[in-house]
Structure 1
Amino acid sequence: MYSRQNLLRAARFEHPEIIPMRFGITPSCWNHYPQDALKELMAAHPLLFPDFQPSSEPIVPRYAPWRRAGKPYVDSWGCVWETNEDGFTGAVKLPSLPDWEALDAFTPPDPEHQNGWGSVDWDAIAKSMDGDHLKSGALRHGHTFLTLSYMRGYENLILDMADDNPRFHRLLGMVEEFNMAIVERYLHLGVEWMGYPEDLGMQRGPMLSPKQFRRYIKPTYQRLVAPAREAGCVIHMHSDGDIRTLADDLIDVGVEVLNLQDLVNGIDWIAANLAGRICIDLDIDRQNITRFGSPAQIDAMIREAVEKLGSPEGGLMMCHGFLPGVPLENAEALMTAMERYADYYS
């Protein structure tokens, strides 16, 4: 169930009917698996796909322009992206500010017309707020730290922080000003859920030291989150990777729903340090068990997470982004387990 009320009740520890479960089939899957097989899975799992309407028409995936193989893409900040596979965000091949000498002539994007990735249609977004669904907004993925790394290059950025470079502060302020304008536009539209997605973790440990995060990035986060909190929005943050040493700071910033990876951070660690303090939006494994394990192991993985992180009061939701390479029988096992344990506390 992905209803507005159920989601808000889970986020606020107000006894949701069931654990919100989301299963996203990424666009590239439609060119990787037999489409009829994917459609059959969707039809067989109505809790995860309540709006699915079977059709014999082939599905033609639509990829964001920065996810098109062989077609370099320039984002709002002037960074050139390339990917080798349709449907997957690649990497910045040409940073926009690798040399500080270009800073004086640099013009930031206009938030009236750009969202960080490219053009934005605020009128269309306003119309999308109609109806009784959850009214949500979000900054672009990688809105602050990663945007700086795209513009400067990762190594340059880490050295900028180590050197406490005045030009780094100027660039950080430029990025924050842009992001704040985006936040304010969403608040003007009446959103009740505001997202701040940004990957801060690697396979082991964060991409920057906790000291660097607290000194440079956390204050910006706090300022970006403050108006949304004051407006009564639920504050959601996504981060891939190992963010255990940053989790307390993210809670201090005002994050209420934290989307983090399960096995990278560890279910037991999440249970001991986050369960009950914050709503956990658990990002289900895409590296190990779902790809290489058995259906029984997948069922056990979901049950363990629900038992250790959930409660009748709420505070747990779960999601999975299905990628090419996972056996279809494992995808089916994961869908079945997510539906089976959604009402574990009901």
Structure 2
Amino acid sequence: MTPRENLLHLLRREGYETVPVEFMLCPSLEKSFQEEIGGPGADYMEYFGMPWRRVGELIPEDTDITRFYPYYDEIKDNMEIDEWGVGHESSPTSMHMTKMHHPLEDAEEVEEIESYPIPVYTEEKNVWVKDRVKELHEKGLASVGNMQCTIWETAWYIRGMENLMMDMLSDEELAEAVFDMVEKMSTDRALIYAKAGVDILYLGDDIGMQHSIMMSEEMYSQWLYPRLKRLISKVKEVRPDIIVIYHSCGYIEPFINYLIDAGIDVLNPIQAECMEFKEIYEKYGDRISFHGTIGTQTVMPFGTPEEVKENVWGNLDIAGEKGGLMVAPTHLLEPEVPWANILAYAEACREYKKK
């Protein structure tokens, strides 16, 4: 099988030939990869033979971010405005992390929400996506439409988390206006990817914390679950065979049945420090597949190479011969992760022998 075919079979729990290697590097690790391993300009995804590629970010109709300037008292020199109008302020020590500024944090009326110049995405502006998908498939690679900030995160990035939480509890009209605006934009984006023929649509919103869910099940089922379900339903009307992966860090076990009912096919990352993969697999592994499970707070930065391999092999044994686990680090690999452990992870995938 090609890498694409092998991956799709694995995620559909139809068996697999080889264990795919997949991880993401922070900028400093990517630089060290080029300096120490791959050479100048080398692509680590190609070097390690990763089976998928993101097709690229969609282009909004209006790319002029100055339309968001009125939402800020000051645009600092160390601040960038993204295509949604969210401000990101960096500092000399922030590396790839930034302080976020929320353009609608002071909004008090529904009209202010409804007049917000949120980006519009159209197929006409993004005809290039089909060519990119075709190019990846011709190389034997799976294509991914990446929009891991889907509804909840996109909404609170724009409104501010505390404000949006308060809206959900005490000003439902404002909350409805924000979520409706974001749901439409996210659905438009998802449908562009689906119609272009991507194999995988990667959705996500962090709805868990280290040891608890971020909101009550009642709040989740009222505000987020129906919107995610509508979005996925529309996508699968267009592409019934598309694989929907959903990302949320943290402890989210109480939400998993909602996510399955909403239509997700694969859950990421089953954060090792927050949930036990064996327990989650035994409860849900007959209905969904998984991506992740190797801790980036623990074993990847602080374990030995042997411990990394044992984690990889142990989790693959849990999933068994039919697959259902794309084993990988649970998040972006940060500077404290040693290359010995990254290489051990890749070796463990390649050396694994199915029981």
Which residue of structure 1 aligns with residue 349 of structure 2? 338
Q: What amino acid sits opposite 2:36 in the alignment?
A: A
Contact 1:229 1:235 in 2 (8 A): no
Give 3-state SS (helix, strand or coil) of 2:127's partner: helix
Which residue of structure 1 aligns with residue 27 of structure 2? 27
Alignment of 1:124-203 (within 5 A): 124-131=128-135, 132=137, 133-138=141-146, 140-203=147-210
Q: Structure 1: state its 5+ residue gaps.
A: 52-69, 114-119
Contact 1:97 1:151 in 2 (8 A): yes
Alignment of 1:78-157 (within 5 A): 78-84=85-91, 88-101=96-109, 102-112=112-122, 122-131=126-135, 132=137, 133-138=141-146, 140-157=147-164
1:316 equivalent in alignment to 2:325: yes
Aligned pairs, how many?
317
Contact 2:87 2:102 in 1 (8 A): yes
Compute the TM-score of the two structures, normalised by the length of structure 2. 0.80
Q: Structure 2: state its 5+ residue gaps.
A: 52-76
Alignment of 1:189-338 (within 5 A): 189-230=196-237, 231-232=239-240, 233-263=242-272, 264-308=274-318, 310-320=319-329, 321-338=332-349
Deviation at 1:255, TM superposition (A): 0.5
Which residue of structure 2 aligns with residue 39 of structure 1? 38
Which residue of structure 2 aligns with residue 62 of structure 1? none
Give 3-state SS (helix, strand or coil) of 1:323's partner: coil
| Cα distance in 2 between the residues matched to 1:128 and 1:44 | 19
Deviation at 1:152, TM superposition (A): 1.8
Query: Which segment is superposed worse, 331-340 or 77-86?
Result: 77-86
Q: Deviations over 1:128-155 (max 9, x none)?
A: 02232324323x3322101121122111
Q: What amino acid sits opposite 1:323 in the alignment?
A: E
Compute the TM-score of the two structures, normalised by the length of structure 1. 0.81
Give 3-state SS (helix, strand or coil) of 1:324's partner: coil
Q: Deviations over 1:280-339 (max 9, x none)?
A: 11242111122112222222211221122x121121112234321112222222222222
Q: Deviations over 1:21-61 (max 9, x none)?
A: 31333333134x37443328x9999993369xxxxxxxxxx
Give 3-state SS (helix, strand or coil) of 1:28's partner: helix
Inter-CA distance 206–90: structure 2 relative to 1 (3 Å threshold): farther
Inter-CA distance 44–137: structure 2 relative to 1 (3 Å threshold): closer
Query: Which segment is superposed worse, 127-136 or 81-90?
Result: 81-90
Q: What amino acid sits opposite 1:127 in the alignment?
A: D
Inter-CA distance 126–43: structure 2 relative to 1 (3 Å threshold): closer
Inter-CA distance 91–269: structure 2 relative to 1 (3 Å threshold): farther
Inter-CA distance 283–48: structure 2 relative to 1 (3 Å threshold): farther
Give 3-state SS (helix, strand or coil) of 1:9's partner: helix
Contact 2:130 2:197 in 1 (8 A): no
* RMSD of Structure 2 on Structure 1 (CA): 3.0
Q: Deviations over 1:180-235 (max 9, x none)?
A: 11122223222332221222221122222221111110000011000222321111
| Cα distance in 2 between the residues matched to 1:182 and 1:245 | 28
Alignment of 1:2-81 (within 5 A): 3-31=3-31, 33=32, 35-39=34-38, 48-49=48-49, 71-81=78-88
| Cα distance in 1 between the residues matched to 2:166 and 2:292 | 33
Contact 1:28 1:86 in 2 (8 A): no
